[in-house]
Chains A and B, each alone.
Chain A
Amino acid sequence: MEPMNERINQLCSGFEKRLKLQGIYIPKQGILAGREKLENSLPYWDESVSAGWDNAHFPFPFALVLELGLKGIENRARLEKCGLSSEEDARREGIAKVYSLLIKHIILHAELAEQMALENPTDADRLNHIAKNLRIISENPPQTFEQGVQLVWFLWRTRQYNHTSCIGRMDVFLRPLYEKSVMDEVSRNAAFLVLRELWEKVNATGSGDTLMNVMLGGVDQDGIDISCDLSLLIMEVTMAVAKSEPHINVRLHKGTPDVFRHMAERLILMGQGQGVIYNDEYIIPSLVKHGVPIDLARCYANDGCTEITIEGKSGIQFWQFEMVKTLELFLFRGKENPSRPHKPVRKWNRNWNVDYFQSQLEFGYDSGNFIHAQSFEQVFDCFLRQLHHQIDHFLSRIDRKINEDKETDKTLTSLLVCGGIPNSLDEGKDLFRGGFSVNNYQLLSGSIPTAADSLAAIQEIVFIQKKCSMSELLEAISNDFENQEELRQILLKAPKFGNGDNRADDIAARIAEEFCNHVDEHIAPHNVRIWPGMYNIDFIMFASILGATPDGRHAGDAICEHYSPTPGRAKNGPTAVLRSAARADLARGCAASPVYIALPVGNAGKSSEVIGDLIDGIQSLKLPLVSIVLYDRNILEDAIIHPELHEDLVVRVWGYNARFIDLDEPLQHHIMNRIL
């Protein structure tokens, strides 16, 4: 491997190339300089534009950069420090270079704006205003809300090359500048306009799985509510713009002011999946139980999806477990179900290429012969053996990654991000090796409810009603129920998760508990606690490699996402879904354990009172994370047939919102089938 200096210089060169390719751009309207998107350009992962590892999934550490300004970061990185290693010195020098490059990039924008002002006297005021803001932020910390937003835009846009990333607690890091700048209705209106311009710019960069999450509200490190007028303004702008980006998430707690809560209810009522609810009362204690100091736990935000990060203190890396495939391997004693489909699939966007998905589980492990089991418990024990084996397989992969991150310099992390993290800025620490003060490695469970439906069907149909034997059931699912429609209908009527039926719900809760226990009991290297989550982002891909299952599901049919019912199975309304979910201690899945409920738009759907009542119920059921969306099925159906008429129709997918017409058709149907 090359010497560290050279490697870090290469990262600086990568960042410089990134800025050059992005070019200089002054908009024809508005006041935020900086290009939105490059067409037909290098892929964002191209090594030549890399400034270091950054999976873009965690919030950028805006707070420190806004406080010190770009020049302040550069100067602080250049402050002499004794006792550092040569790598640490090189990193600090790299941080200084990268921030210096960004300053030059911004000055070039200022020069262009000034030039344009001379050439366009009628627009000179606006252009000179842009130039003035740029000059200020190139030399000093931002002084106004407008300048703060401008700096946030540049940092966000240059963080990744021509790609998007997580935003974070915007009402925290921009609050000081907001309260300095906004004194009255006029200045508030000006702030509204600049945020609206920012929202239009972020929407111009892309739509869908963009990682552009904003988290509002919640408590600060001392446990005091931090919501403010900026929190409300951000929600107002989101409702006014009504596009898919950014994705707004709200933290609620007992002390959440009514005004914030009511605004969040209105946001949810908009129906686009905005306003995902995070309950501080259940998430913060769970993070503390997983080793996060309470003052840091209180500062959590979500990542580019729904998972938890600690803003300014952690990144995130996650691994996606395959719960229903684990069930399949248990049923077929280490082998795949012969009825497993072999067809390529797109993850979500219809413009992407199709690909064959490969399971990451370990095939070949026989967890026991249950064909002649005398009780459901004996069958369940075999399933648990397979589950534990497969979890161990994933945990050892995570352990290897932890060792690699902590013990080697194989990966060098982003110099731009390092500039916003005190341990990296002052001590030259790589983010993985001392930069981040909180480790965040997550194992996400996959579709527990769909697995539970299958086990509930075995319990009910094989052992209680004795309508078929285990071997008959296996025969049927290995042939995808060919000539077995009668049995399939019987299985479909077995208890299903999401209907307030403890027979299925308690099995799901047991699986969740086993999963969390096994992950929590694992001792990972370097005292890292791996965070479990009841979560599944790859439900489309996983379904594409699953044969038929004992719940009556055909091969390749949909499975659920996260801790929500399999689409189409919940028949008793949203309160039943929430009650089903509440049978498990979802807070134990501190990485993220969301429940999604999709309501049909109707008379009740016009009232934010109904949303408020649902939220009250969610909190008293101790659910940590819930997404409430409202859809009109007729409109969704029409959008499939006439996409040109529904270009602005936005839906919630998993941890993000997207234009419905951009989604691949199986995903469109999956979303429609979620409606309760």
Chain B
Amino acid sequence: MTVDAAYEAVKADLAFYGRRGGVTCSGGEPLLEAEFIYELFKKCHIDGIPTALETCLYASEDVLSMLLKLTDLWIVDLKCIDTEKHQKYTGHSNALISKNFRWLLEHAENIWVRMPIIPSVQNDADIEGLIKLLAGKSAVKNVELIPFHQLGREKYKKLNVSCPYPSEKEPSDQWMKHLENILRKAELPVNAENKRGIT
């Protein structure tokens, strides 16, 4: 698809963006198509359409610099704060991601942070790590903990592929509330009402 074709699709629903909507690029990992996004976001900004990028930040700092001024909202997916855990569960170090995130905290104005919560992986210590990272950072407008779910189980069956986490449990509502409360006590904006920093 060309940038022009993508932008035609964006423009088609312009009537519905109103004051709070806009374009979000996600993935996969959208920063792998940084130049495409750059051109698309340029067009969006010319027509006053707010832009958002949903990314895990696994890219070079140059890419982030290129997109910084054209991205109104960064939705950052932080899987694990602990380096060893990150390596174990994703197969990659989080050194680049952490470095990029600290850079983003310095330069961006609007950031949401999302962390998946998988009972056998994260625990209170991960939340403490998140607090250390985000505390006092005014650019962070919203923090969301995303509970793991098994809704994909049937799809694996239909595809005849073995489910990689067959016995992984979904976190209870109680535990999710407990983790969110830890974040709230640290004065982080959890599931913020007024999270839409874009004007």
Contacts and interface: CB of A to CB of B under 8 A. Distances in A.
A613 interface: yes
A614 B69 CA distance: 29
B16 A575 contact: yes
Interface residues of A, number: 12
Contacts of A609: 20
Nearest to A500: B12
Given A575-B13, A617-B15, 9 more contacts: A500-B12, A578-B16, A579-B15, A613-B16, A613-B21, A616-B15, A617-B16, A617-B18, A620-B15
A613 B19 CA distance: 9
Interface of B: 12-13, 15-16, 18-21
A616 B18 contact: yes
Q: Is the interface of B mostly helix, strand, loop or mixed?
A: loop
Nearest to B16: A617
A14 B19 CA distance: 58
Contacts of B21: 613
Given A613-B20, A613-B21, A621 B15 contact: yes
Contacts of B19: 616
Nearest to B18: A616
A609 B16 CA distance: 12
Contacts of B16: 575, 578, 613-614, 616-617
Nearest to A616: B18
A578 B16 CA distance: 10
Contacts of B15: 575, 578-579, 582, 616-617, 620-621
A625 B137 CA distance: 46
Interface in A542-594: 575, 578-579, 582
Contacts of A617: 13, 15-16, 18
Interface string A314-339: 00000000000000000000000000
A599 to B, nearest CB: 13
Contacts of A500: 12
A621 B16 CA distance: 9
Contacts of B18: 613, 616-617
A285 to B, nearest CB: 20
A578 B14 CA distance: 12
A317 B159 CA distance: 58
Contacts of A582: 15
B153 to A, nearest CB: 19
Contacts of A579: 12-13, 15
A616 B18 CA distance: 7
24 contacts: A500-B12, A575-B13, A575-B15, A575-B16, A578-B15, A578-B16, A579-B12, A579-B13, A579-B15, A582-B15, A609-B20, A613-B16, A613-B18, A613-B20, A613-B21, A616-B16, A616-B18, A616-B19, A617-B13, A617-B15, A617-B16, A617-B18, A620-B15, A621-B15
Most B C-beta atoms less than 10 A away, residue of A500, A578, A617:
A617
Most A C-beta atoms less than 10 A away, residue of B15, B20, B21:
B15
Nearest to B19: A616
Interface in A459-515: 500
